[in-house]
A and B are shown apart, each in its own frame.
Chain A
């Protein structure tokens, strides 16, 4: 083995950690390995003993001394049975081990990722990284079946075959070992190294192709208008050609690898034939033993055949493991306190000089926010996009680290455990996630024990009554990826119903009326006003219609600060007077007003 192919120390630590995760399934895994080795050896033994047996019998037939043919005949039957049953048992046991590991791995990873969301998992929102995590988890799940079993299985089988051959013909031991090392280790690893560069090109082209297809879909109008469709198609053809060239190289390498293993097996057989013929002449080896060896050697190479794939998998698996562990080891952005959460008797929320940013050196999304939301007060938070409205919501949920002081009922927010805090503050996200589950499951997410009557109440409150009635399967309707499509407005109302089911002292809504018509907004606000009687509401919005039905005050945000907080009536009066007196034109009569002035 060349030095370059030796895995480094970091790799060993990685392997140890990866297989440490699988420790609980150790017995199943070892049993699976034992069965794999046993059935492989039985298959080889069957051929070798058969060769030995017919040669002995032929010698008897040619006038030699009678032999005990019961033992080899029985061995042949035994090997056939062990081979057949062993393969079946091996498959069952290795799959059992894999399935046990799979369940454990997912629960482990989920537990590690929960405290990281969303602050430390920001990048997971990108579809590309998310799909990489998916394939990484897939790779780890198949580490045992696809990597460990073939590699360790081949190792044991090869060692047994070399030792057995050397016992019959000592001169054969070393050459055979070299043939195996060449076919099982050097050759696949050489092909792997040579394949790295074209492999990278294939991946890069794949990425480029996805981007081009995506551009061709989303930018089709521009391409057509600019007359760039031919150029775009030519670009795709060029990328496809480059990818095909790299794939061709990879395929040649793979073909070379598997053809070489076959060639090595045949050359090893010829080598044992040559050495055996000399030994036979010298009397050191019996005729049946020679035939046995010639059959044994190529049969043993069957264990080597899956190795190129296994070596390739090993590299990919370790890379996946490294990424997954790196992700799982990310420091928790907002750790839960060890002590239990404080008990409070009122729900005044008070923010002082709160600052928050999403990247260490990024701009401040909140830059010194002061806000009071006494129990029972309803405040609307308005401001242009990017002013920091949603960041303020994020700060209240304790999902992102922030500086300054936030207190709830006089106790600092950081003394609260996340789950306890969110029982006090229910949040309706701007883009709520709907799970691939029934509508009922999506509604009951925060309170699975909710009764039928409670569900019905919040559905009506969130103005979802008509929507649910119109669904043929009602609450059993499947939503999400595999189910009916839910519009953004419907998703938001489902999230409102979900939050109301918690019956929280404080309700925070982030743009809940986006995509709703004015009439529904009015009904929603009226319903929320009644449902939240005596409790606090923070409503992030950019629409001013019917606002007075729900809120008392309007706070305006700009550049991460609250710049004004006035009673709703005076705010609306001020806005409508601005709208009536259109702002002065920028450059006289050619001004083309294109913006919405009201915010």
Chain B
């Protein structure tokens, strides 16, 4: 565990320290009650055995014992309640911080992340933190508190026995550190190997088809058996050492009781000690070691939380680059127009300082017209969209919306003017209806139906068992690439915005689907300001207006027919495209 991780873990405990303190206090109170109960039992038994008293004389003490048991029961519940809340609050706080962070990092960053990795870190990671605060931290405190309470109780009853316990109890952690340091390292190594072995097994299962195709299943099975066996031998050698720390704890716990019992016995026989005091100490002795034992079983919580914290700290420290400011930005001017002209004036942008994607780019798109952007992959076409969408802000130059600087506009209001048909529209978990409504939450049923029709989706809805309300996504019915395109079109239709950004699919669609999408796009484009990214050039209409993007600049623009005749950058791209 690195210093920063452990200090981060400690820092998270600060807001819940009252709850943690309450939990520890309840635990301490239980220890006090435990001592009182032990003393009552010793008192009753001493009266009964030595003085021949019966139940009639002792019933009040017996009743007190029941009351103490009930009080310990209530305190136990209360303790868990407090520590649970502590863990839950830390978990929720960290979860919110993460959510906030992911939001600040924005769509550009999100697109580059592995989904499984982020989900694991932010769901399992947060869950791994909770038991650290709810279980491990209170137990650490109790391991310090409870033995002190017990020793203080034993001291007046029999100082000699208290001395024996005082000597053995601190020896336990000492020896556990001596033996346990090596043992813990060994056991950590063992766990990481076990995980590795398990991962290998699951790896073999995940690649089972490839293994079959390579005729390697027999060999893999033999290998699994052999590695399993080798691992067992190796692990058992490690375990013989790893379990030594538990052996030390067990040894001290049992031996101190045995030594105590024998010494108590002889001192009782010699008459140098009262029976009541002797029995009281004997009853307390095993309790002294219980918190230590409990801590031992919870040590893995700390290891897991530390591992999770390392991941979380890294995620929370992820630098925000080139992204538009978050929701904290001051209110800005809004825009209310249905005819929007877009102008790029010397716009420069780079995701990294020394690598410019756009270099003083100039571009004009008049209101109600369509411009097709072409260029090699990586030439900055998508970056241009990101700037327009406000997912990134230019480092130099201005983007003008009807002559007003985009940077001065209220971002949320501006976005209401844009629709974006991306290559792969995200399908949210939920129904098709949810997936449409997210784009335009106030759409009614008629509008939804019309949007579906406009995007040629009714046949897809007809195929779904519960129609519009069928759950989509990973667990339900998936949408094919072409259907996702149409979903994006339906969303754009619902939004009915003056600006439309289109990113053509590179995926191969069958002729019928392609024709459906073509028609839907054509109908949608009418009367709007459209910027379209085209990935294939061999099929652009002769009169389409095109701008060629290369090295962060518009190097050529005009009608397709003119550009083809000019034999410049466009013609070269077209030739390369035809050769692929």
A594 to chain B, nearest CB (A): 5
> A351-391 interface mask toward B, CB cutoff 8 Å, 1 = contact, 0 = none?
00000000000000000000000000000000011110000
A24 to chain B, nearest CB (A): 13
| B49 surroundings in chain A (CB, below 8 A) | 55, 58-59, 280, 287-288, 290-291
B418 within 8 A of A: yes
Contact for B275 among A54, A80, A422, CB less than 8 A: A54
Q: Which residue of the partner chain A has the closest CB to B480?
A: A386
Interface of B: prevailing SS: helix
| B477 surroundings in chain A (CB, below 8 A) | none
| B72 surroundings in chain A (CB, below 8 A) | 259, 262-263, 266
Q: How far is the CA of A83 from the CA of B251 in the complex (A)?
A: 8
Q: How far is the CA of A59 from the CA of B208 in the complex (A)?
A: 74
| B509 surroundings in chain A (CB, below 8 A) | 384-385, 595
| A323 surroundings in chain B (CB, below 8 A) | none
Contact for B225 among A60, A103, A594, CB less than 8 A: A103
A278 within 8 A of B: yes
Contact for A110 among B107, B111, B220, B391, CB less than 8 A: B220
Contact A103 B231 (CB under 8 A): yes
> Given A103-B225, A225-B389, A255-B77, is A57 in contact with B266 using a C-beta cutoff of 8 Å?
yes
A582 within 8 A of B: yes
> Given A445-B211, A596-B536, is A62 in contact with B50 using a C-beta cutoff of 8 Å?
yes
B244 to chain A, nearest CB (A): 8
| A597 surroundings in chain B (CB, below 8 A) | 538-539
Q: How far is the CA of A251 from the CA of B426 in the complex (A)?
A: 37
Contact for B212 among A61, A114, A387, A586, CB less than 8 A: A114
Q: Which of A55, A221, A252, A423 has the most CB of B within 10 A?
A: A221
Q: How far is the CA of A203 from the CA of B52 in the complex (A)?
A: 59
> B330-374 interface mask toward A, CB cutoff 8 Å, 1 = contact, 0 = none?
000000000000000000000000000000000000000010000
Q: Which residue of the partner chain A has the closest CB to B66?
A: A270
Contact B262 A76 (CB under 8 A): yes
> Given A91-B239, A446-B216, A579-B578, is A211 in contact with B268 using a C-beta cutoff of 8 Å?
no
Q: Which residue of the partner chain B has the closest CB to A289?
A: B49
| B309 surroundings in chain A (CB, below 8 A) | none
Partner-binding segment picked from A2-10, A122-130, A150-158 = A122-130
A236 within 8 A of B: yes
How many residues on the B side are at the interface (Cβ–Cβ under 8 A)?
A: 154
Contact B118 A213 (CB under 8 A): yes
| B149 surroundings in chain A (CB, below 8 A) | none
> Given A107-B221, A124-B205, A277-B54, is A60 in contact with B269 using a C-beta cutoff of 8 Å?
yes
Contact for A545 among B65, B507, B514, B580, CB less than 8 A: B580
> Given A217-B102, A251-B84, A433-B206, is A79 in contact with B258 using a C-beta cutoff of 8 Å?
yes
Partner-binding segment picked from B196-204, B399-407, B550-558 = B196-204
B106 within 8 A of A: yes
Q: How far is the CA of A107 from the CA of B88 in the complex (A)?
A: 40
> Given A99-B236, A295-B283, is A595 in contact with B116 using a C-beta cutoff of 8 Å?
no
Q: How far is the CA of A408 from the CA of B416 in the complex (A)?
A: 62
B274 to chain A, nearest CB (A): 8
Q: How far is the CA of A579 from the CA of B579 in the complex (A)?
A: 12
| A248 surroundings in chain B (CB, below 8 A) | 84, 88
A564 within 8 A of B: no
**Which of under 10, 10 to 19, 20 to 34, or 35 or more describes the interface residues of A?**
35 or more
A256 within 8 A of B: yes
Partner-binding segment picked from B91-99, B163-171, B450-458 = B91-99
> Given A84-B251, A236-B99, A593-B540, is A287 in contact with B198 using a C-beta cutoff of 8 Å?
no
CB under 8 Å from chain B, chain A span 26-59: 43, 46-47, 49-51, 53-59
Q: How far is the CA of A433 from the CA of B203 in the complex (A)?
A: 9
Contact B262 A435 (CB under 8 A): no
Q: How far is the CA of A46 from the CA of B260 in the complex (A)?
A: 12
Contact for A61 among B209, B271, B283, B517, CB less than 8 A: B271
B397 within 8 A of A: no
> Given A99-B232, A227-B415, A266-B69, is A214 in contact with B282 using a C-beta cutoff of 8 Å?
no
Q: Which residue of the partner chain B has the closest CB to A419?
A: B215
B27 to chain A, nearest CB (A): 12
B505 within 8 A of A: yes
Contact A54 B261 (CB under 8 A): yes
B179 within 8 A of A: no
Contact for A244 among B58, B92, B210, B439, CB less than 8 A: B92
> Given A216-B102, A262-B72, A518-B579, is A59 in contact with B50 using a C-beta cutoff of 8 Å?
yes
- Give the total number of A-B pairs whose CB atoms are below 8 A apart: 437
B317 within 8 A of A: no
Contact for B48 among A260, A280, A387, A434, CB less than 8 A: A280
A279 to chain B, nearest CB (A): 10
| A23 surroundings in chain B (CB, below 8 A) | none
Contact B473 A211 (CB under 8 A): yes
> Given A57-B269, A110-B220, A215-B426, is A291 in contact with B81 using a C-beta cutoff of 8 Å?
no
Q: How far is the CA of A397 from the CA of B44 in the complex (A)?
A: 82
Q: How far is the CA of A434 from the CA of B204 in the complex (A)?
A: 10
| B103 surroundings in chain A (CB, below 8 A) | 216, 220, 229, 233
| B209 surroundings in chain A (CB, below 8 A) | 117-118, 399, 429, 433
Q: How far is the CA of A128 from the CA of B476 in the complex (A)?
A: 12
Q: How far is the CA of A455 from the CA of B65 in the complex (A)?
A: 80
> B205-237 interface mask toward A, CB cutoff 8 Å, 1 = contact, 0 = none?
111111111111111110011001101100110
A315 within 8 A of B: no
B472 to chain A, nearest CB (A): 11
| B532 surroundings in chain A (CB, below 8 A) | 592
Q: How far is the CA of A236 from the CA of B454 in the complex (A)?
A: 33
Q: Which residue of the partner chain B has the closest CB to A436?
A: B203
| B215 surroundings in chain A (CB, below 8 A) | 418-419, 422-423, 446
B275 to chain A, nearest CB (A): 4
> Given A281-B55, A385-B507, A436-B203, is A106 in contact with B123 using a C-beta cutoff of 8 Å?
no
Q: How far is the CA of A295 from the CA of B102 in the complex (A)?
A: 57
| B257 surroundings in chain A (CB, below 8 A) | 46-47, 50, 80
A322 within 8 A of B: no
Q: Which residue of the partner chain A has the closest CB to B501?
A: A225
A470 within 8 A of B: no
A185 to chain B, nearest CB (A): 20
Contact for A54 among B76, B106, B282, B439, CB less than 8 A: B282
A100 within 8 A of B: yes
Q: How far is the CA of A78 from the CA of B578 in the complex (A)?
A: 89
A43 to chain B, nearest CB (A): 7
Contact B580 A480 (CB under 8 A): no
Contact B111 A221 (CB under 8 A): yes
> A430-465 interface mask toward B, CB cutoff 8 Å, 1 = contact, 0 = none?
001111100000000110100000000000000000
Q: Which residue of the partner chain A has the closest CB to B534?
A: A594
Contact A226 B270 (CB under 8 A): no
| A236 surroundings in chain B (CB, below 8 A) | 95, 99
Q: How far is the CA of A104 from the CA of B80 in the complex (A)?
A: 40
Contact A582 B539 (CB under 8 A): yes
B384 to chain A, nearest CB (A): 14
Q: How far is the CA of A404 from the CA of B229 in the complex (A)?
A: 45
Q: Which residue of the partner chain A has the closest CB to B428?
A: A215
Contact A592 B521 (CB under 8 A): yes
> B462-487 interface mask toward A, CB cutoff 8 Å, 1 = contact, 0 = none?
00000000000111000011000000
Given contacts A222-B438, A224-B390, A399-B209, 19 further A-B contacts (CB under 8 A): A55-B275, A80-B254, A99-B232, A114-B221, A118-B209, A130-B205, A213-B123, A221-B391, A226-B440, A227-B412, A251-B81, A270-B62, A280-B54, A399-B212, A433-B210, A446-B214, A518-B580, A593-B518, A596-B536
25 A-B pairs, CB-CB below 8 angstroms?
A46-B258, A47-B257, A50-B258, A53-B261, A60-B268, A72-B265, A95-B235, A103-B229, A110-B224, A118-B208, A134-B202, A138-B198, A210-B123, A221-B422, A251-B80, A252-B77, A258-B76, A419-B215, A419-B218, A422-B214, A433-B210, A498-B214, A579-B538, A591-B522, A595-B514
In the A-B complex, the 7 residue pairs with the smallest Cβ-Cβ separation, listed nearest first, are A103-B228, A595-B514, A50-B261, A287-B49, A255-B80, A219-B426, A433-B207
